[in-house]
């Protein structure tokens, strides 16, 4: 299938709603289509990579020591990788990999890699100058790489795409697809381990810029389109690979409790967000008090624990506690949902927001003075002991294959099991008749009701089901955090959960996991800008709503909802569905 304008960016004819703005600017770039564009890109890659083997900084205490010649640091290695990826796309445009150029928009990839490299080098040089006392302390290697980045960007702007085949219709062998999934999972594992190991905030920002540049280039070239297709065809392999990556992650941290603490917090946050994704992403119900259901599960886990401050004498096994906490949270969901789910939109948001605040104040008042002595009021329930399953103490480090796994690693594996259960439930519900009913309600409640969908019953089930999953995560969170207090469950936490879904992609599992990881990891790594965290967070959401409202990882249905005027996207998706139906027949 031919794209309508093969000489433009990959976005043209592939769902980008702002192509009518970017295309004229590219066409007016000096030298567009020139024969010198390709060799210019090669020179740019040579200088970009070559500069990384020279010193970038006069002092050795900036960005992890970039003052040594022929010994690239982590910041420089990112530019080496980016340069090699750009070289591969240049060779796909013209050279031994030119057959790939028929399927991929190599010009768009080079363009995005070049522009990303320019931004990366500008920030790196700015940080070096700021922290070492001026531009005079930037060594020649930094300037050489900057010139290389500029040449690579100019080459990308001058190149004209030669793509004339749609990667959606690429026919590849099963072994190649499985190998691609394995490589992708390995990159995810290595990238996550490397990101958590970065201690310097500026280096972490640069790593994020590198990942953004590479991801944007792959998306614009069409690589992610092909990856999405093979992921659908090999879903069991993808799920197995993702679980293997998550399972192996603690073994890459060298026993670091700090990194594993962040990882367990990400898992708790992600598991809770997946429950909220049922309510918001599938059923389209705006819930601003969802953190209360996590808190309900946490309080159940606390008061039924062996803590000396627990107020209930019954101490059942933890598996029973998990079930009790989940059921208690779902009952709260039914109680709040029954009278309020007959309203929608802003009214439902106000009611759920009020419920979240009511829960917090209620937990603070159950102290024996203002109400029954159940939660110790504002002091909460401290000194919650670690779990102990059949003699396995979660509070003690354990040695596995010569690698020490500490307390947080133990809870990480437990939370991984909880998250796997939640993902399984979410996927099964999404693919069921119930899930289709939720989607119908989200898209048009009146039309769904007219077609016989039990609107109120399904909305109530979504509310209770999401609360059930949050309660499960809450019972583990209580033991992980050692204490439970009312101020842990404020409205801002509900807002962050909702933002994780919007940022990652409503109605998807991978999108929510990505969104939760970003929103939990960034505050931990960017403490040096803690005063501006909410400002930056707000700007990111505004930019997302403007340029990619469907989220980072969006399913096809949501993408069409936000790009209804893109007839080409709808046509391409319809053709893929027809081919899949014919193959099954």
| pLDDT tens-digit series, residues 48-106 | 999 999 999 998 888 888 989 999 999 999 999 999 999 999 999 888 888 888 888 99
Residue the block writes with tokens 């010009």: 107
Does the pLDDT at position 530 exceed 80?
A: no
Confidence of residue 557 (pLDDT cuts 50, 70, 90): low
Does the pLDDT at position 3 exceed 80?
A: no
In this prediction, residues 368-396 reach a mean pLDDT of: 85
Per-residue b/e over 294-322, b at no fewer than 16 CB within 10 Å? bbbbbbbbbbbbebebbbeeeeeebeebb
Contact 89, 206 (CB under 8 A): no
Q: What is the dihedral of CA 357, 358, 364, 370, to 10 degrees?
A: 150
pLDDT at 556: 62
pLDDT at 8: 37
Spans of all domains in the chain: 19-245, 256-553, 555-585
Spatial distance between the Cα atoms of 154 and 75, rounded to a whole number of angstroms: 23
Spatial distance between the Cα atoms of 226 and 578, rounded to a whole number of angstroms: 17
pTM summary value: 0.80
What is the C-alpha radius of gyration for the chain, rounded to an integer number of angstroms?
A: 26
Does the pLDDT at position 277 exceed 50?
A: yes
Terminal C-alpha separation, the chain: 23
Nearest to 106 by CA among 52, 49, 167: 167
Does the pLDDT at position 564 exceed 60?
A: no
pLDDT at 10: 39
Confidence of residue 562 (pLDDT cuts 50, 70, 90): low
Contact 275, 469 (CB under 8 A): yes
Give tens-digit pLDDT for 146-169. Answer: 999 999 999 999 998 887 787 777
Nearest to 145 by CA among 223, 226, 63, 204: 63
* Total Cβ atoms within 10 A of residue 517: 20
Phi, psi of 170 (to 5 degrees): -70, 135
Residues 6+ apart with CB under 8 A from 292: 332, 355, 356, 359, 360, 489, 494
Spatial distance between the Cα atoms of 159 and 210, rounded to a whole number of angstroms: 22
Spatial distance between the Cα atoms of 379 and 311, rounded to a whole number of angstroms: 13
Please name the residue ranges forming H helices in 222-290: 223-233, 235-248, 257-277
Does the pLDDT at position 5 exceed 50?
A: no
What proportion of the chain, given as a percentage, has pLDDT over 90? Answer: 29
Per-residue b/e over 543-560, b at no fewer than 16 CB within 10 Å? ebeeebbbbbbbbbebbb
Give tens-digit pLDDT for 197-211. Answer: 887 888 998 999 999
* Total Cβ atoms within 10 A of residue 31: 14
- Residues paired with 398 in a beta bridge: 405
């Amino acid at each position: 299938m031919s794209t309508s304008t093969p000489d433009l960016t990959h976005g043209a004819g592939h769902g980008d709603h702002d192509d009518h703005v970017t295309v004229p600017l590219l066409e007016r770039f000096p030298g567009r289509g020139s024969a010198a564009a390709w060799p210019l890109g090669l020179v740019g890659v040579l200088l970009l990579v070559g500069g990384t083997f020279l010193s970038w900084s006069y002092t050795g205490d900036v960005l992890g020591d970039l003052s040594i010649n022929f010994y690239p640091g982590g910041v420089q290695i990112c530019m080496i990788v980016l340069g090699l990826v750009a070289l591969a796309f240049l060779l796909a445009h013209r050279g031994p990999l030119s057959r790939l150029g028929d399927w991929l928009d190599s010009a768009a990839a080079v363009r995005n890699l070049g522009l990303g490299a320019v931004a990366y080098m500008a920030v790196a040089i700015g940080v070096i100058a700021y922290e070492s006392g001026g531009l005079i302390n930037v060594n020649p290697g930094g300037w050489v790489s900057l010139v290389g980045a500029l040449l690579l960007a100019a080459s990308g702007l001058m190149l004209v795409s030669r793509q004339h085949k749609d990667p959606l219709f690429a026919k590849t062998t099963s072994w190649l697809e499985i190998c691609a999934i394995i490589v992708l999972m390995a990159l995810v594992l290595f990238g996550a381990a490397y990101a958590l190991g970065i201690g310097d905030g500026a280096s972490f920002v640069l790593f994020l810029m590198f990942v953004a540049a590479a991801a944007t280039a792959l998306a614009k070239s069409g690589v992610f389109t092909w990856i999405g297709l093979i992921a659908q065809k090999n879903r069991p392999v993808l799920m197995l690979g993702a679980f293997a990556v998550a399972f192996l992650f603690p073994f890459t941290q060298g026993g670091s409790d700090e990194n594993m603490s962040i990882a367990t917090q990400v898992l708790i946050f992600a598991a809770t967000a997946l429950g909220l994704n049922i309510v918001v992403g599938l059923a389209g119900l705006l819930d601003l008090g969802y953190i209360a259901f996590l808190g309900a599960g946490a309080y159940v886990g606390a008061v039924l624990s062996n803590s000396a401050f627990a107020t209930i004498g019954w101490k059942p096994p933890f598996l029973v506690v998990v079930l009790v906490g989940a059921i208690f949270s779902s009952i709260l969901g039914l109680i709040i949902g029954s009278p309020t789910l007959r309203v929608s939109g802003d009214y439902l948001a106000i009611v759920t927001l009020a419920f979240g605040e009511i829960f917090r104040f209620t937990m603070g008042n159950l102290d024996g003075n203002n109400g029954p002595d159940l939660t110790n009021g504002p002091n909460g329930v401290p000194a919650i002991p670690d779990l102990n399953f059949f003699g396995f103490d979660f509070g003690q480090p354990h040695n596995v294959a010569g690698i020490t796994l500490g307390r947080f690693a133990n809870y990480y594996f437990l939370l991984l099991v909880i998250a796997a259960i939640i993902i399984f439930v979410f996927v099964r519900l999404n693919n069921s008749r119930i899930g289709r009913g939720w989607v119908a309600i989200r898209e048009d409640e009146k039309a769904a009701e007219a077609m016989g969908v039990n609107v109120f019953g399904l909305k109530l089930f979504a509310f209770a089901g999401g609360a059930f999953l949050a309660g499960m995560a809450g019972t583990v969170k209580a033991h992980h955090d050692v204490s439970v207090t009312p101020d842990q469950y404020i409205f801002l936490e509900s807002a962050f959960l909702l933002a994780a879904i919007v940022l990652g992609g409503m109605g998807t599992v991978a999108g929510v996991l990505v969104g939760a990881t970003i929103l939990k990891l960034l505050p931990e790594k960017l403490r040096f800008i803690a005063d501006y965290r909410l400002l930056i967070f707000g700007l990111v959401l505004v930019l997302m709503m403007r340029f990619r409202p469907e989220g980072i990882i969006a399913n096809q249905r949501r993408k069409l909802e936000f790009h209804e005027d893109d007839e080409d996207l709808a046509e391409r998706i319809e053709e893929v569905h027809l081919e899949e139906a014919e193959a099954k027949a």
